[in-house]
């Protein structure tokens, strides 16, 4: 699906594919949050170059960081920084 023609949210029907090995959705026009993919067979995942936002689901946290756009990486860094800052104030 890396043809830059798909738009909207990532279809949740992809979550139910039992033996999904790779999911390449980079460089399209997807927006919203990434669904929580929990397929144990998933070994490659790429959604970079889209308008996605929000946290990276825990089930995908082991994927290479280049699989996600800068927004996701920044969200994770800011969230960790806020947690560290708040814990020091207590």
pLDDT greater than 60 at residue 87: yes
CATH of the domain at 66: 3.80.10.10
User: 63's torsion region: left (phi>0), alpha (psi -120 to 50) or beta?
Assistant: beta
More reliable by pLDDT, 74 or 65: 65
- pLDDT, residue 22, reads 92
Question: Does some domain include residue 29?
Answer: yes
Question: Does some domain include residue 77?
Answer: yes
pLDDT greater than 70 at residue 74: no
Q: What is the pTM of this model?
A: 0.68
User: Could you tell me where the beta strands, DSSP code E, fall in the chain?
Assistant: 7-8, 22-24, 29-32, 44-46, 51-52
Question: Does some domain include residue 52?
Answer: yes
Question: Does some domain include residue 1?
Answer: no
Question: Does some domain include residue 2?
Answer: no
Domain membership of residue 20 as a residue range: 7-89
- pLDDT, residue 77, reads 60
pLDDT greater than 70 at residue 49: yes
């Amino acid at each position: 699906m890396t043809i830059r023609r798909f738009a909207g949210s990532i279809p949740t029907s992809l979550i139910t594919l039992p033996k999904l090995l790779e999911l390449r959705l980079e460089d399209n026009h997807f927006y919203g949050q990434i669904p929580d993919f929990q397929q144990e067979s998933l070994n490659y995942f790429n959604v970079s170059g889209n308008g996605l936002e929000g946290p990276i689901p825990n089930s995908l946290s082991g994927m290479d960081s280049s699989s996600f756009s800068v927004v996701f990486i920044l969200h994770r860094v800011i969230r960790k920084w806020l947690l560290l800052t708040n814990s020091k104030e207590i």
